[in-house]
């Protein structure tokens, strides 16, 4: 038995997406959500696109009505149980993206849209806009640019009183 086989769920959630066979509509939706939350997909797509896709899949699962003969013959309790199991898997995928991409300690202050990234039709990669949006951190960035930050090696501009020194008018 391979290590990867024994830790199948851990492998799927942390490293990459191993394509799984699915049985039925709900299992297919859950597999798509897990693929959207996989490590390989998260490195290629901005988190807001992944989260929106997973939310769309959750909405599809909630709105789905029994259409095939097999689903109609199935007792309503079993149908709802499979829907709830699917929704649990989808919300686990959503939480994984949130924890790893948005709430991670290294992601603090980062833009979840990768600076408004759009997919380039030629290369199919996401490309950020040339203008950067700082959001809530704009004041700190402008303060560092204008007044310097000695911890990062930037010196203050002249007459900025960055160090708190009192200067007279004749200096």
Kindly state whether residue 25 falls inside one of the protein's structural domains: yes
3-state secondary structure of 126: strand
The pLDDT, as a whole number, for residue 33 is 94
Residue pLDDT, tens place only, 5-61: 445 555 445 455 555 566 788 888 999 999 999 988 888 999 999 999 999 999 999
Which residue range(s) make up the domain with 102?
A: 3-107
Kindly state whether residue 137 falls inside one of the protein's structural domains: no
How many structural domains is the chain composed of?
1
Kindly state whether residue 126 falls inside one of the protein's structural domains: no
Largest Cα span, the chain: 92
- Contact (CB, 8 A) for 79 and 67: no
The pLDDT, as a whole number, for residue 72 is 80
The residues, ordered by sequence, that sit 6+ positions from 142 with a Cβ below 8 Å of its Cβ are: none
**Rounded CA separation 35/20 (Å):** 10
The pLDDT, as a whole number, for residue 164 is 53
Kindly state whether residue 166 falls inside one of the protein's structural domains: no
Kindly state whether residue 116 falls inside one of the protein's structural domains: no
The residues, ordered by sequence, that sit 6+ positions from 106 with a Cβ below 8 Å of its Cβ are: none
Kindly state whether residue 124 falls inside one of the protein's structural domains: no
Residue pLDDT, tens place only, 89-108: 999 999 999 998 888 877 76
Q: Which of 94, 26, 28 is nearest to 62 (CA)?
A: 26
Q: What is the pTM of this model?
A: 0.63
Kindly state whether residue 150 falls inside one of the protein's structural domains: no
Q: Which of 111, 126, 122 is nearest to 44 (CA)?
A: 126
Residue pLDDT, tens place only, 122-137: 998 888 877 666 666 6
């Amino acid at each position: 038995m391979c290590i990867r086989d024994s830790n199948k769920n851990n492998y799927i959630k942390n490293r990459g997406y191993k394509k799984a066979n699915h049985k039925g509509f709900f299992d297919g939706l859950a597999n798509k959500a897990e693929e959207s939350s996989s490590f390989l997909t998260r490195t290629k797509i901005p988190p807001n696109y992944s989260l929106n896709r997973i939310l769309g899949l959750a909405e599809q699962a909630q709105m789905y009505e029994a259409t095939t003969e097999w689903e109609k013959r199935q007792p309503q309790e079993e149908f709802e149980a499979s829907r709830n199991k699917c929704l649990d898997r989808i919300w686990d995928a959503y939480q994984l993206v949130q924890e790893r991409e948005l709430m991670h300690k290294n992601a603090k202050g980062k833009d979840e849209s990768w600076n408004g990234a759009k997919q380039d039709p030629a290369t199919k990669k996401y490309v950020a806009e040339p203008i950067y949006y700082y959001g809530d951190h704009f004041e700190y960035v402008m303060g560092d640019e204008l007044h310097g930050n000695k911890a990062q090696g930037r010196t203050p501009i002249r007459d900025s009183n960055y160090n708190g020194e009192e200067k007279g008018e004749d200096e």
